[in-house]
Amino acid sequence: MGSAESAVRVAMRLMQKFAPAVTSPPQPQSDWALFLDFDGTLLDIAPRPDEIEIPKSLPGMLLGASAWLEGALAIVSGRALSQIDRFLDPLRLPGGGEHGATVRLPDGTLETAGPETIVPIAWRNEILRVTNAWGGVLVEEKPYGITVHYREAPYRADDILALLVDIAGGDPRFEILASRMAYEVRSRAITKARVVNELMGYAPFSGRVPVFVGDDVTDHDGFRAVVARGGLALDVGEIFGGEPAAVREWLRSFAANQD
């Protein structure tokens, strides 16, 4: 199999549905360790990553759920942790940014992936150079990876994939990840499973039943990690009707259990 074909197959494999273990929102349990995706799970997807709307009640809702779980609640996002912190200020929750490139432990310590996992600057420059002429295409640069969004230019999907395969397809250290109206280049060593496995080794997560809630193919590594530990994978589309508002309402019930 050629390198370009391999990269395409990686993207398509990750687009496959993950079979849920349950079909409706389960009753919250106090012995859970809860891992939550951000965009598309807690928040509605916006046309551009910087246009998301944060419900004023969200930080308090997360704080209440975290308190009921004795701190065993984490945010696991493709965004950088600095962005998550800004959106949820003043909360500083455990979790992972950029799919696990950075992991924040319960005591606030940050663990970061090695420099070999960073998408090369030459690739970034070439992606920016080519896509600069493509109206409606947005390039989101991150400390470790790079994502090309085509929500405003869906006809560019094949062009973007071909470009990324041409640039990164020959390097086995990296993969092209297909997500909602976007393609991302990232290190194969970085996945949301890393966040789950790392945090489950520390109190208050250790010894609990891991539950991962996510909406996109980028969450499937996290799904597999919790299932391997006897936990639950909750796909927002399958379990919550594709509605982040339904996820937030479910989270509100966690805090209600404190009474």
Residues noted as catalytic: 37
Greatest C-alpha distance within the chain? 59
Q: What is the token pair recorded at 124?
A: 């970034």
Q: For residue 120, what is the DSSP state?
A: P
Angle ∠(1,19,256) on CA atoms, nearest 5: 135
DSSP state of 208: S
What is the C-alpha to C-alpha distance for residues 138 and 147, in angstroms, rounded to an integer? 8
Peptide bond into 120 cis (omega under 30): no
Strand partners, 107: none
In the chain, beta strands by DSSP E:
32-36, 73-76, 95-97, 102-104, 110-112, 138-141, 146-149, 174-179, 182-187, 209-214, 232-235
Alpha carbon 208 to its chain centroid, in Å, reads: 21
Q: How many CA atoms lie within 13 A of 70 on its CB side?
A: 12
Within 8 A by CB and 6+ apart from 201, the residues are none
Q: Which class for 17: exposed (0-12), middle (13-18), buried (19 or more C-beta within 10 A)?
A: exposed
